[in-house]
Structure 1
Amino acid sequence: MLSFVLSRSFCQVVTEANRRCYPAFGSIFRTFSTSSPKCDEASDDGSVVTYSELKTMLASHNIQLFDVRNPDEYQAGHIPQAVNVPLDNLEESLQLSPELFEQRFEVKAPTKADDNIVFHCKSGSRSIRALGIAHQLGFSKLLNLGLCFININPRSIMVHYC
């Protein structure tokens, strides 16, 4: 219980500091500073994709799923349809022309008007940073798979292992 209280306090301090530098972080970082929804529950601000929503989006192919983990993590196993854009390369990649983006990643480049852009990593921390980077570049309708990914049974979403 004490670790939860300390963790929550730390997250609130970090949130406030980031809010001053990155206004979008207030709502994005709230995932860590409030009690997070379970994987099948919607979040208050709508920025976190639930497990059910992820399965629906994957089945309908109505998703631009960006895995911001390192290439070696991606190669060890990834969600089908996920495109590996490591966090360290994200800002540069999102600024590429649509043609160069498609050439490099073999998928259509996301646009600032898209409402199906989802970032994910292993635990949620890198995907939250990815949301902040994309938001600073003018992308406003962003989603995060969040912390639920580490609780998802890989067999139920058919994680692709190379």
Structure 2
Amino acid sequence: MKKLVTLLIILALATGGIFAYDSTLDLRTIVDQTQGMKITASQFTGTTLEALNSAAEVTSYTVTSHGSFDVGWISVISNNLTGYYVTASATAMASTVGTTTSYIDYTVSFGTDEFTTNGATTAYLEPPKYALIAQSLESLSPNSRKITLKISADAFNSAAEGQYTGTVTFFFNAT
């Protein structure tokens, strides 16, 4: 009887393999493009868009003399597979009294890539110069580059009295 029970168990186990089925589960997802850009007070090293949104922002800077001034960081986070680049434009600091407008020109620098304002004409940082560039990305990645303003002694010291304002604008371009 023991031999019969043992034989039945062996047969049951052996035939169970004959009737086994394979099953598969295909997984799919869509990862949306994530990108953000901000002028931050310090180099951004966060790993999420929320971290960039929470980073201290620089929205203005007061110039009190000529010289070179580190005013912030252009910071980007992106997962764009083919990369991106950031360009910029700037207007000279201008002061208008009555019908007369006076200008203080300055240079905007991102390391070795820089451009200089020229009176009433908007100046542009254009390729092959960039504020930031990433050729390709394999994941959500942060990137920052220091923004430096350079104002010559001649431009600052020879300016007419007045309250001057200028603007630097950044443009994000996914490639």
Whether TM-score is above 0.5 comes out as: no
The answer to which structure has the higher strand fraction is 2
The answer to which structure has the higher helix fraction is 1
Q: Normalised by the shorter chain, which TM-score bucket?
A: under 0.3
Instruction: Using structure 1 for the length normalisation, give the TM-score.
Output: 0.26
Q: Which has the higher contact order (CA 8 A, sep 6+)?
A: 2
